[in-house]
Amino acid sequence: MVLLMHGNRLPPLEWIRAFEAAARLGSFTAAASEVGLTQAAVSQRIGQLEKHLGIRLFNRKARTIALTVEGEAWLPHVRHALDGLRDSTEAIFGAGHKRLTISASQSVIELWLMSRLGQLQALTGAELSIRTLVLGAHDAPLDDVISIRYGTGDWPHPYKARLYAEELAPVAAPSLAKRADPWTILPRIACAGARPGWPAWAAAFGIPTTPVPHLRFDTQLTALTAAKAGLGVALASLPLCAGALKEGTLVRLDARSLAHHESYWLLAGPKAVSRQTWTTIAESI
């Protein structure tokens, strides 16, 4: 591969940033959204970069792009250089983010994040802004927010860390658990969402599918609140109800647990958090 740079001059940084974003996201449109330009401007900068280097970096097809062999070979060097520039800027000039914004559902904020905010603030030294995710907003765009989302982790964010391995088990208030009746005939509480529900538990462990849940909620937080009030048995996320189990406001009714391939993930991009701060956060969760 021969790069024909004019007079050995390096290409402008904004051209290189456009190339890296388009290569990582697989789209000029997505790259434009990330770098704050129009799709036409990103395409133009990459075209100027290719002319400057004397080589084609992308194969352009109808509505799709793909890196050429030369583009694939250059990409890791570009990423390494940009990471080094970002890290050295933060280290020398203190350009790290002094304010971090975290977006999560109310359930995650109250049941997982709240108990960790003090440690997170101490580790990062940042002002923390917590933003409640509106129910139904399941997309996870690359922006200036650290997001906590439920799924398999297949988002395009450069920074990703799974919070925990998901496990589900039936829980109830101590007053309900003390009944002489088997827990499987107690009233059940259902929770909508991506997690497996009572039918999955019944199929996995051979319990009856009845009684049918008499209360249905759209968040783990409200379902667990109802369970604490003695209103029934909830099929709960064990990591999210760990605090209640430790306090004794909820008790497990079955030693078995149902594993699930999805879980909560911490997601971010370089606009939301510096790489050094991200590493600190990811290692602490």
Q: Is residue 224 part of a domain?
A: yes
CATH code where residue 73 lies: 1.10.10.10
Q: Is residue 179 part of a domain?
A: yes
Coil, helix or strand at residue 27: coil
Q: Is residue 140 part of a domain?
A: yes
Q: Is residue 1 part of a domain?
A: no
Same domain membership, residue 176 and residue 160: no
Q: Is residue 271 part of a domain?
A: yes
Kindly provide the residue ranges of all beta strands, DSSP E only, lying in 62-153, ordered along the sequence. 64-67, 99-104, 127-132, 146-151
Same domain membership, residue 156 and residue 268: yes
Exposure b/e, 214-234, CB count within 10 A at least 16 = b: ebebebbbbbbbbbbeebbbb
Same domain membership, residue 244 and residue 137: no
Q: Is residue 57 part of a domain?
A: yes
Q: Is residue 46 part of a domain?
A: yes
CATH code where residue 205 lies: 3.40.190.10
Same domain membership, residue 245 and residue 175: yes
Same domain membership, residue 117 and residue 89: no
Q: Which of 74, 93, 112 is the last residue of a domain?
A: 93
Q: Which of 93, 110, 128 is the last residue of a domain?
A: 93
Same domain membership, residue 182 and residue 124: no
Q: Which residue has the tokens 């759209």?
A: 218
pLDDT tens, residue order, the chain (285 aa): 444 455 557 899 999 999 999 999 999 999 998 888 999 999 999 999 999 999 999 999 888 899 999 999 999 999 999 888 877 776 666 545 578 999 999 999 999 999 999 999 999 888 999 999 875 444 555 578 999 999 999 988 889 999 999 999 999 999 999 998 899 999 999 999 999 999 999 999 999 999 999 999 999 999 999 999 999 999 999 999 999 999 999 999 999 999 999 999 999 988 888 888 898 999 888
Residue 61 pLDDT: 87
Same domain membership, residue 69 and residue 57: yes
Residue 245 pLDDT: 98
Same domain membership, residue 175 and residue 143: no
The domain containing residue 157 runs over which residues? 99-164+263-284
Residue 8 pLDDT: 59
Same domain membership, residue 254 and residue 177: yes
Beta carbons of 269 and 143 less than 8 angstroms apart: yes
Same domain membership, residue 192 and residue 172: yes
Which residues lie below 8 Å from residue 117, measured CB to CB, with a gap of 6+?
128, 130
Q: Which of 93, 127, 156 is the last residue of a domain?
A: 93
Q: Is residue 35 part of a domain?
A: yes
Same domain membership, residue 241 and residue 205: yes
Beta carbons of 234 and 226 less than 8 angstroms apart: yes
What is the number of structural domains in the chain? 3
Same domain membership, residue 276 and residue 231: no
